A = this chain, B = another copy of it.
Amino acid sequence: MTSAGATSAGAEPPLRRLTARGALTRDRIVRAAADLMHANGVAGTTMDQVVEASGTSKSQLYHYFDDKDALVTAVIKMQTARVMQVQEPHLEQLSSLQGLRRWRDEIVRFVDERHGANGCAIGSLATELSDRSEPARILINAAFQSWESYLTAGISRMQERGEIDRTADAATLATGILAAYQGGYLLSQARRSAQPMALALDLAIRNVEALALEQKPASGAVS
């Protein structure tokens, strides 16, 4: 993942205009904080640890972030950008059941390689912060909604192409698939196995497959 990619995807309105060097320093701080918080939790990460891990100074840290809450906001945005950077290439072209299954296979392969470890960066933040910080909850919810909207758009394209029944509610199916992803990941983390993720996604996707219309694929269908 390039620095430029994650930064642009997680762009937040700059409160002060940063120099190129300042932007790099700020980025280094957020990356270090994101990694520490993913490994040890937000509550388990101190500002001192972020200073040490980022190789910056305390005055630099507080130059860019008034307090830990401000840093957490930047971390949520960066993690959202990181996750969406992985998800977008798979989802933005999604227009067929085959594409949905390919997305499922990519996820299961990814989780399998790590034996279920790490979990979803946004899901972890959601569990830790949703009840503890309203600004954090709003950002995390927006990340989930954005993620769901990619799935909704993909399912809608399957409907437009005539591959699946148009009367089904695409947004409902998208919520179910994202819930299966999040819950599947959580069970995979606990079991150290990709199997729960695979089963959960298969079950959710089966609801979309059940809508398949019996006809030849329309022209333009993904092979």
Binds B, one of A10-18, A104-112, A130-138, A212-220: A130-138
Query: In chain B, what residue has the closest Cβ to A41?
Result: B43
Over the window 163-197 of chain A, the binary record of Cβ atoms lying under 8 Å from chain B Cβ atoms (1 yes, 0 no) is 00000000011011011111111110111100111
Tell me if A47 is interfacial: C-beta within 8 Å of chain B. Answer: no
Tell me if A162 is interfacial: C-beta within 8 Å of chain B. Answer: no
How far is A200 from B171 in the complex, measured between Cα atoms in Å?
12
Residue from the set A40, A42, A196 with the largest chain B CB neighbour count within 10 Å: A196
Whether the pair A182, B172 counts as a contact (CB closer than 8 A) is: no
Whether the pair B130, A119 counts as a contact (CB closer than 8 A) is: yes
Whether the pair A203, B192 counts as a contact (CB closer than 8 A) is: no
Over the window 102-127 of chain A, the binary record of Cβ atoms lying under 8 Å from chain B Cβ atoms (1 yes, 0 no) is 00000000000000111100011011
Instruction: Say whether, besides A190-B130, A203-B207, A179 and B176 are in contact (CB < 8 Å).
Output: no
